[in-house]
Structure 1
Amino acid sequence: MQAKDVQLNTEVQGLLDQVNALYPGKVSVSFISDQQVGFVRHDQAQQVKVGDDIVIQVADLTAPNYTAAHELVHLLMVLSGFPQVFFSLTTGQPQLDEQLMIMGTELYDIVSHVVVVKEQQKHQLITDEIKQLYLNGVTATLKPEPTPVDDEMTLRTLTLLDALVFFGTGDQAVMDQFERDYPISLAAAKKLYAIITEKPVTSPFSLRRNVVKLFKAFDEQLEAWHLPALHNTEFTTLSSVLSQRQLGLEVKQVFEFYHSDMHEKTTQRRAYVGINRTDQQNAFVLPAPAPKEDSPEYFTKYYNLTVEELFKQLKMPYILR
């Protein structure tokens, strides 16, 4: 099979039509490679912005419809008002920033996959063949756990957590294989899976709640393994889901400003992170004032705005609950 021969099936075409009905530009799917690696993995497609349009580029033809649909559902979620992640902070170390962004996005995506998988099942896109190809993707990504464990425990745990979202915990053959090859990381992934499935994702609010829970629980797991925590509750900005009442409250009632050691990317000045008082999650980032603006009033004026006024001023998207 060659890229030029691939046709979207009716289910995936339907998803593409749904996305185009919501997106102001044009969304298209492009198969950009003839490669067929024999497994599916979520890095086989990406969204590329071309002017006002979005092209979903699929770089592997092992399961082109499944892979395109996966990306389309992610896009559909954003267009339907589910929270997104943003990265406005820098540690001053580009490589570390990159790693933190990848990890923050991965954790957010895993929670999103709870919705994506359900949607793909609804469209009959997860067949026994796809399940096998997904399993092939896990084994292609992960080496079995050595004794003593190596430095790939984080990757194993993330990959297995995502696999639990995909398979659930009821497929005994898959669970037995994971148990045999990755006993320690599977135990960690199961704990995290229980946390993110304790309450169903039925709305933008519940998705956001589960993302924050996972950010915190994943750090706890890393610390239990004496690995450095990611601090996604500070580093990663997650869209706020607010009620009409909260929008009318003063900023200081809903958020507190936390003086971060990190810098705001655009200005390169020290950052103040707007932390949600309820769950301690980064909701927006303000740069420290320029020297000539530096006065106690600088923050007082922000604190006294309503939440709606502040978000408008920052051009920060939010979701109405």
Structure 2
Amino acid sequence: MAGKKVSLKAATNELLEQVNQLYPTGTVFLDFEGDQVGYVRHDQAQQKVFPGGLMITLTDLTEPDYTASHELLHLLMLLQGFPQIFFQLSLGEDELDEQMMIMATDLYNVAMHTVVVDEQRRHELITPQIEAEYLAGIHATLSDEGDQVDNERTLRLLTLLDALVFYGDHLDQVQADLNQRYPSALKTAQALYAQAFDKAVDSPYAMRRVIVRLFKLFDEQMHAWQLPPLHNTEFTTVSPVLSERQLRLSVKQVFEIFHSDMQNRESGKRAYVGLRRNDRQNSFVIDAPQGDTAAEFVSLYAQPVQEFLDQHGIPYIVRK
């Protein structure tokens, strides 16, 4: 590693060790670059897979323990079986696809941060100083609201949703500042937060529920603002969380497969999207069955769920 030498707290090193015990294809390393900008944001690290492992590079060293532990906890959650998101569909325009993926990832991370932040606080990796630097990061990201509607509404909403997760019970320390600078966005974010996080996020199943709920609530807000919705329930694949019983049911009982107007990003062919019947969320994407006949779809629908998912290499999580 060619970066700077940084001494990390024992709790951060323990997280790195935990990750390496589970990481399946080599070793996870931390590298340190950059200076100290004076605030913390979640864009201050990068990940790069290389032969033999994964490199997590911190690109700002304002709070290396906070940033490193944040990245490690995200990775640890995936290794422990929390839902992932995948982008298997394309609208046919690279720039639009990229915008959709960024916003979907932001919403997904808001949900995942409920666990990440709890763990960081449990390990005493979030201090009053870091809380102040997080607020400074918000100030560096957003301009203050004015009297006129501007094009930052969506960014403010995403940023403040994440802030509500980060501050949690400590929100009273910064609420006056946020309310003075972003009164409308804060009110909207608090309303969405109350609806999305009405139950504890204490399992992969509960996490998936919150992710899907955020996707839907965000689109409802886009409609209210007369802005284009993201349609993440179709565009973004969320790995399904299924019980042993559901895995034994037929595909037809658990999923509805429909032809999307979007293409399969990998194959470029017509995409068929598998929606969970209970929440209408994209759970997998496949190409049209060979021949594309009604008989082949009847056969596909009759397969046991686990057999179908395994046959197509579709990742899923078994609900405990």
User: What TM bracket, shorter-length normalisation?
Assistant: over 0.9
1:15-30 maps to which residues of 2 (within 5 A)?
Answer: 15-24=15-24, 25-30=26-31
SS of 2:257's partner is strand
Match of 1:280 in 2: 280
Question: 1:170, CA displacement in angstroms?
Answer: 4.6
- In 1, are the aligned partners of 2:274 and 2:284 still within 8 Å (CA)? yes
Question: 1:4, CA displacement in angstroms?
Answer: 1.9
CA RMSD of superposed structures (Å)? 1.3
Among all aligned residue pairs of Structure 1 and Structure 2, give the percentage whose two residues are the same amino acid: 53
Match of 1:226 in 2: 226
1:51-90 maps to which residues of 2 (within 5 A)?
Answer: 51-90=51-90
**Equivalent-residue separation in structure 1 for 2:244 and 2:231 (angstroms):** 29
Amino acid at match of 2:87: F
- In 1, are the aligned partners of 2:164 and 2:171 still within 8 Å (CA)? no
**Equivalent-residue separation in structure 2 for 1:169 and 1:108 (angstroms):** 21
Amino acid at match of 2:313: K
**Equivalent-residue separation in structure 2 for 1:134 and 1:156 (angstroms):** 15
- In 2, are the aligned partners of 1:169 and 1:175 still within 8 Å (CA)? no
Match of 1:302 in 2: 300
Match of 2:263 in 1: 263
**Equivalent-residue separation in structure 2 for 1:43 and 1:22 (angstroms):** 25
- After TM superposition, the score normalised by the length of structure 2 is 0.96
Structure 1 residue runs without a partner (length 5+) = none
Question: 1:114, CA displacement in angstroms?
Answer: 0.3
**Equivalent-residue separation in structure 2 for 1:215 and 1:294 (angstroms):** 31
- In 1, are the aligned partners of 2:86 and 2:238 still within 8 Å (CA)? yes
Aligned length: 317
1:312 aligns with 2:313: no
Question: 1:298, CA displacement in angstroms?
Answer: 2.8
Q: Deviations over 1:29-50 (max 9, x none)?
A: 111x232111100010122111
Match of 2:103 in 1: 103
Amino acid at match of 2:292: D
Q: Deviations over 1:73-106 (max 9, x none)?
A: 0000000000000010000011010011111111
1:199 aligns with 2:207: no
Q: Deviations over 1:176-227 (max 9, x none)?
A: 1111111111111101111232101100000000100100000001110000
SS of 1:117's partner is helix
Question: 1:265, CA displacement in angstroms?
Answer: 1.0
- In 2, are the aligned partners of 1:46 and 1:57 still within 8 Å (CA)? yes
SS of 1:201's partner is coil
**Equivalent-residue separation in structure 2 for 1:162 and 1:259 (angstroms):** 34
- In 1, are the aligned partners of 2:45 and 2:56 still within 8 Å (CA)? yes
**Equivalent-residue separation in structure 1 for 2:30 and 2:114 (angstroms):** 23
Match of 1:138 in 2: 138
When structure 1 is superposed on structure 2, of 224-233 and 2-11 the one drifting more is 2-11
**Equivalent-residue separation in structure 2 for 1:212 and 1:156 (angstroms):** 20
SS of 2:263's partner is strand
SS of 2:309's partner is helix
SS of 1:11's partner is helix
SS of 1:73's partner is helix
Structure 2 residue runs without a partner (length 5+) = none
**Equivalent-residue separation in structure 2 for 1:303 and 1:71 (angstroms):** 39
Question: 1:316, CA displacement in angstroms?
Answer: 1.1
Question: 1:289, CA displacement in angstroms?
Answer: 4.3
- After TM superposition, the score normalised by the length of structure 1 is 0.96
Question: 1:300, CA displacement in angstroms?
Answer: 1.9
**Equivalent-residue separation in structure 2 for 1:79 and 1:289 (angstroms):** 32
Match of 2:117 in 1: 117
Q: Deviations over 1:88-131 (max 9, x none)?
A: 00000110100111111110110000000000001100001100
SS of 1:245's partner is helix
Q: Runs of 4 or more off by more than 3 Å in structure 1?
A: none
SS of 2:283's partner is strand
